[in-house]
Amino acid sequence: MKKIAFITGATSGFGRAAAEKFASEGWSLVLSGRRLERLLDIKECLDVPTHIIQLDVRDAAAVKEAVESLPNEFSEITALINNAGLALAPEGAADVDLSDWHTMIDTNCTGLVNVTHALLPKLIEVGAGTTIINVGSIAGQWPYPGSHVYGASKAFVKQFSYNLRCDLQGTGVRVTDLAPGIAETEFTLVRTKGDQTASDNLYKGTTPLSAQDIAEHMFYIADLPEHININRVEVMPTRQAWSPFAIDRD
């Protein structure tokens, strides 16, 4: 069977690494993202059939149109990788601009729902062996200061993945919540709105995950025998662990 991966947020980080990994294994690709020039660059670098879509996943009508207008040779999707997402506003909740909260909800929750809903009929039609990988975060399980809506949005990803799997039982479509820990990508640059120093300081002196590490997990999950479903993978670097509870003292 021809294998085709539909990857959102493919212009950088986990999404681009996933495109490169799946292409290296001979999969055809549908890549979406907001930055057309990056999509064109990625397509130029890949040696597999690739269809690119300039797309904001928050726009439900645009998502529906993009899926309905997929060329025939890219219509039988084997794996959906819901990677598009972001964190904003590392400040405490009382200091956050409300628009940043809305952007995280609209992208991490609504965007994921838009793409999943549009592609479900195609995934169900292909059936056994198809996979939905929703990129969550350890923040969806473990709270920390400044995570507020970001962590809550990733908790939504986790629970949506579990519930979706219940509804898809009997279709052959598998669902996984893939929850990375600290990983060195553009994540912190986006979160701090371009503060390179903050990004550098986060990764300084430790060994974070890489985008390629997460892409390897994505491919492993998608390439498993069709009778195996991994419900959730939480992956952290060896040098990351939990901190003690915070205690307010006089």
Rounded to an integer, what distance in angstroms lies between the CA atom of residue 100 and that of residue 119? 28
- Per the annotation, the verdict on 150 as an active-site residue is yes
The answer to whether 124 touches 79, Cβ cutoff 8 Å, is no
Going by C-alpha positions, the residue among 171, 178, 62 that lies closest to residue 111 is 62
Helix (H, G, I), strand (E, B) or coil at 224: coil
The active-site residue, picked from 144, 150, 162, 203, is 150
Helix (H, G, I), strand (E, B) or coil at 137: coil
CA distances from 50 to 42, 54, 78, 125, 245 (A): 9, 13, 14, 21, 47
Rounded to an integer, what distance in angstroms lies between the CA atom of residue 9 and that of residue 3? 19
Residues with active-site annotation: 150
